[in-house]
Amino acid sequence: MDDHLRPATVLLLACVSFGVCVLSTVANAQTRCERTATRQITKFDKQIAAADTRFSERRNKMIAAHLATVTDPAERERVEEAFTDVLTPYNFEKWLGNSRKQKAHVREKASDESAKKCEIGKSTAEFFDETVDEYEVFQARALDALEDRIAIETVGPDEGLAVMAMYIDGPIMRLTLDRRGSMGGGRLWKDLPQGQYFRVIKLPAGDYQWTTVRSMRVFTRNLWADSQVYYFDLREDDLAFRIEPGKLNFTGVFLFSGSAVRASAELKDRSSIVMRLVENRYPDLLEKFPVFNGAVPDDGYLQFFIEERRLAAEAAP
């Protein structure tokens, strides 16, 4: 090769070579990005699958332990149905819907050839980890509900069933229910989620009162920087109910609303709404136990409704 041409040739080769390098770098980055996304998604799917396995094992073990004590086939069938009913609201597939959308979004981002840099990294990994944590909390709540459901299969002579219905608007870290005139027998709820809570639990017979809420006042959107923990004393708010032994006691609907400005709690007599929930999730309890309105004992609606429903059923062809 002519020496005079050498610099130009070198330059040309360098340019070609550099261009290839640039293209190669972009392509490699893209592939790396997709690989990262795939790795994160695979890890996430494995964690979810593992969580599901653990959940199933625990659920099956709990149910099996109880069924071991039940010999009557009809009763076994009732119990199995009851356990299914109580777990029905815990729809894992629905819960995971958002993470499926997020997975699709991550894949799309990772394969976006027009992106200048890979956006799949630490933040998406954190999102998947947090989702797994939250999923496990959700599963724990389902198991907790199942545990309560199994517990109410045996009701002692001094115990009653309490239909607990709450609507929470604002974060609740701790909610205390105290049994009047007793050091024990109350119940503590921790980290209640926003929205509706509905459960039938077993409580010693007696008079109860919602007493304290530990909550957070959120002043801005920056939850952690600008919020403060507050206790709200509910003892003067007449949020009380009675549990009668051997009965399915409606305890009203506990409504809590907390904001930066004020917090309020109320106990409402919403027997017909609660009855609808009981019919859907605890139908067998309505067959087994007499119903009592423990929040407003002199409200005759529940007995009237039950009687009218019985008459309607009898009259049905």
Buried b (16+ CB within 10 A) or exposed e, 116-138: eebebeeebeeebeebbeebbeb
Stretch that binds other proteins, among 55-63, 108-116, 135-143, 262-270 (CB under 8 A): 262-270
Contacts with 239 (C-beta within 8 Å, 6 or more apart), sequence order: 209, 210, 254, 265, 266, 267
Say whether residue 304 binds other proteins (CB under 8 A): yes
**Contact call for residues 252 and 164 (beta carbons, < 8 A):** no
Distance (Å, whole) CA 22 – CA 93: 43
Stretch that binds other proteins, among 15-23, 57-65, 113-121, 303-311 (CB under 8 A): 303-311
Tokens 């509910």 correspond to: 234
Say whether residue 183 binds other proteins (CB under 8 A): no
Rank residues 98 and 259 by Cβ distance to other proteins and give the closer one. Answer: 259
Residue 262 Cβ vs other proteins, minimum distance, rounded to whole Å:
8
Dig out the tokens for 126 from the structure: 């954190």
Tokens 């409580």 correspond to: 203
Say whether residue 5 binds other proteins (CB under 8 A): no
Residue 67 Cβ vs other proteins, minimum distance, rounded to whole Å:
34
Interacting residue with other proteins among 9, 60, 272, 280 (CB under 8 A): 272
125-164 residues in contact with other proteins (CB under 8 A) are none
How crowded is residue 298: how many other Cβ atoms within 10 Å of its Cβ?
Answer: 5
Distance (Å, whole) CA 315 – CA 80: 30
- The amino acid occupying position 68 is A
Say whether residue 296 binds other proteins (CB under 8 A): yes
Say whether residue 10 binds other proteins (CB under 8 A): no
Rank residues 112 and 299 by Cβ distance to other proteins and give the closer one. Answer: 299
Say whether residue 298 binds other proteins (CB under 8 A): yes
Angle 180-216-130 from CA coordinates, rounded to 5°: 115
Stretch that binds other proteins, among 106-114, 192-200, 282-290, 298-306 (CB under 8 A): 298-306
| Residue 173: burial class (beta carbons within 10 Å; 0-12, 13-18, 19+) | middle
Say whether residue 276 binds other proteins (CB under 8 A): yes
Distance (Å, whole) CA 102 – CA 106: 6
Say whether residue 305 binds other proteins (CB under 8 A): yes
The helix (run of H) or strand (run of E) holding residue 288 is: helix 283-288
In degrees rounded to 5, what are phi and psi of residue 238? 60, 40
The helix (run of H) or strand (run of E) holding residue 204 is: strand 195-204
Stretch that binds other proteins, among 65-73, 103-111, 179-187, 234-242 (CB under 8 A): 234-242
Say whether residue 196 binds other proteins (CB under 8 A): no
Stretch that binds other proteins, among 17-25, 63-71, 172-180, 256-264 (CB under 8 A): 256-264
236-255 residues in contact with other proteins (CB under 8 A) are 237-239
Say whether residue 180 binds other proteins (CB under 8 A): no
47-76 residues in contact with other proteins (CB under 8 A) are none
Say whether residue 306 binds other proteins (CB under 8 A): no
Rank residues 155 and 296 by Cβ distance to other proteins and give the closer one. Answer: 296
Say whether residue 301 binds other proteins (CB under 8 A): yes
Residue 265 DSSP symbol? E
**Contact call for residues 197 and 144 (beta carbons, < 8 A):** no
**Contact call for residues 205 and 160 (beta carbons, < 8 A):** yes
Say whether residue 309 binds other proteins (CB under 8 A): yes
Binding footprint of other proteins on the chain (CB under 8 A): 237-239, 259, 261-262, 266-273, 275-276, 295-296, 298-301, 304-305, 308-309, 312
